[in-house]
Amino acid sequence: MHHTKYLLIGSSHAGLSALDAIRLQDKEGALTLVTQESCLPYSPTILPYVLSGQTNPDKVFLRDQQSLDSQSVAFKPGARVVAVDGRNRQVTLESGEKMEYEKLLLATGAAPKRPRVEGLEAVPHHVLRTLEDAVKLRSGLRKDRTAVVLGAGLIGLHAAENLAKSGMRVVVVEALSQVLPGYFDEEASQMIHKAFSENGVKILLNEKGLKVKGADGKTTLSLASGGSLSAGLLVVATGVQPRVEFLEGSGVEVDQGILVDERMRTSVSGIWAAGDVAQARGFFEPSKILSATLPNAVEQGRLAGMDMVDDPALKVYPGAVNLNTYKFFGHRAFSVGMIRTEKGCEVEKEIVPENFKYQKLVFKDDQLVGASGINSDLDPGIMYQLIRRKAYLGDVKARFCASPGEGRGPPRRARRGTRHDGSASQPPVESTGR
Ligand SMILES: Cc1cc2nc3c(=O)[nH]c(=O)nc-3n(C[C@H](O)[C@H](O)[C@H](O)COP(=O)(O)OP(=O)(O)OC[C@H]3O[C@@H](n4cnc5c(N)ncnc54)[C@H](O)[C@@H]3O)c2cc1C
């Protein structure tokens, strides 16, 4: 039986980050990296560019075989783990092969969530999570054809934009009352929605697909509101869920994701989890939450790897502060930390419609707790650090709000401050900028 000191399941951001942290302390301990995919490690964040054709699928890899060899990694692609036996420290692969480990990292990420739409299993549809998905979807792009996208989250909108740019007529169906509900407030979402409408993408809000049927190369989706949509291509992008199905009977405690402590340890000794599959404490609250973002996967993977080798430099996980950047139709947007306000929050908003610019800062107890923007000069990385470090801005808050971008960019206008209840704490003012 294959025996390894460190067994890492999943070769994406969390797995690779753990690998690097382990190799900083232990250059020689036998380390095996397995993935169910048949290719070298890559980032799912590159997939929209593969879909658009901006990036060649051969050029997306995060590591090549040579760099894995130089880190003494036994890389095993095409190896799907189907069971974990925590008591005997063994995993079983789909092929039936068993592997013994001393320390195990579960970094299996998340898989697309299928919505409850009658008939969906029986009709051809696309998702966008793996390189194979992106290549397949790209090959489905044709001029003068139609597409329906279920879900107006980041992945749904990435798909819709690229389908539209390839000349297809696209309709997006979203059950909630705004696009990107997990990332932006209603005002910012409306601006993004407008950009999509102006580029020919129709978005139906407060709408659901109930039933789907396929015939003659067309898919017909019956809508909750009574109408129906027919299209040549159906894309399902209604969220993701942690990949945990192989843990049944393992003893590893799972809620929505794998429950981990502040060192990424699971409930079973010798097993850690990190990234999209893990459910760890939040930054703003101690309850355990999922956080499916790249920076979070990198950080959790690093901490898990450090703990696996007892690295004395480890500082426990402070909780995830979500950070997302998003480009659409020539615009750039970001959101970090709290999007919606709660009691005691103060909001500084700035909107310049003619520049298609939006900027929002959220404060609580004189600390920045959230920031978002569209075509804003704010640096998402700096906003992230201010939030993470709980920087006290009391004495400089007014100056910070007047010039958070340190004078970069055009003059600011239509700045307004609001309290959490939405009432204006001061009337809109014209800023002179700097
Ligand atoms: C289209 C798209 C765009 C995105 N854009 C952004 C963005 O702009 N910003 C951002 O922060 N995040 C973005 N994300 C999310 C980001 O990619 C994830 O948060 C990140 O990849 C999580 O890393 P991970 O290592 O936890 O899991 P994953 O990247 O999901 O990797 C999991 C790995 O585990 C393997 N695996 C799973 N199950 C098994 C098994 N049973 N046996 C063996 N191997 C297994 C998989 O094959 C894969 O290699 C995007 C995601 C997608 C799909």
Which residue's CA is the nearest one to ligand 1's atom 36?
108
pTM score over 0.75: yes
DSSP-assigned states of every residue in 124-171? --B--SSHHHHHHHHHT--TT-EEEEE--SHHHHHHHHHHHHTT-EEE
pLDDT value of residue 420: 42
Distance 225 CA to ligand 1 centre (A): 34
Q: Which atom of ligand 1 is nearest to the CA of 93?
A: 42
Q: Which of 8, 76, 113, 154 to mutate to test the pocket of ligand 1 (most atoms within 8 A of CB)?
A: 154
DSSP at 68: H
284: CB partners within 8 A, 6+ apart: 319, 337, 338, 369
CB distance 377 to 407 below 8 Å:
no
CB distance 76 to 32 below 8 Å:
yes
Which residue's CA is the nearest one to ligand 1's atom 5?
45
CB distance 283 to 275 below 8 Å:
no
pLDDT value of residue 142: 67
Q: Which of 33, 34, 45, 243 to mutate to test the pocket of ligand 1 (most atoms within 8 A of CB)?
A: 45
CB distance 338 to 367 below 8 Å:
no
Q: Does residue 13's CB lie within 6 angstroms of at least one atom of ligand 1? A: yes
Q: Which atom of ligand 1 is nearest to the CA of 326?
A: 8
Q: Which atom of ligand 1 is nearest to the CA of 246?
A: 41
Pairing of strands 415-419, 367-374: unpaired
Q: Which two tokens stand for residue 22?
A: 């382990």
Q: Does residue 102's CB lie within 6 angstroms of at least one atom of ligand 1? A: no
pLDDT value of residue 143: 58
User: What is the mean pLDDT of each successive set of 10 residues along the chain, which is 434 residues long?
Assistant: 96 98 98 98 94 89 97 98 97 98 98 96 95 92 83 96 92 98 94 97 98 92 96 95 97 98 98 98 94 95 98 96 94 94 89 94 94 95 94 86 61 47 31 26
Q: Which of 94, 97, 243 to mutate to test the pocket of ligand 1 (most atoms within 8 A of CB)?
A: 243
Torsion of CA 402, 404, 408, 414, to 10 degrees: -40
Residue type, 58: D
Largest CA distance in the chain: 72
Q: Does residue 156's CB lie within 6 angstroms of at least one atom of ligand 1? A: no
pLDDT value of residue 22: 98
CB distance 305 to 103 below 8 Å:
no
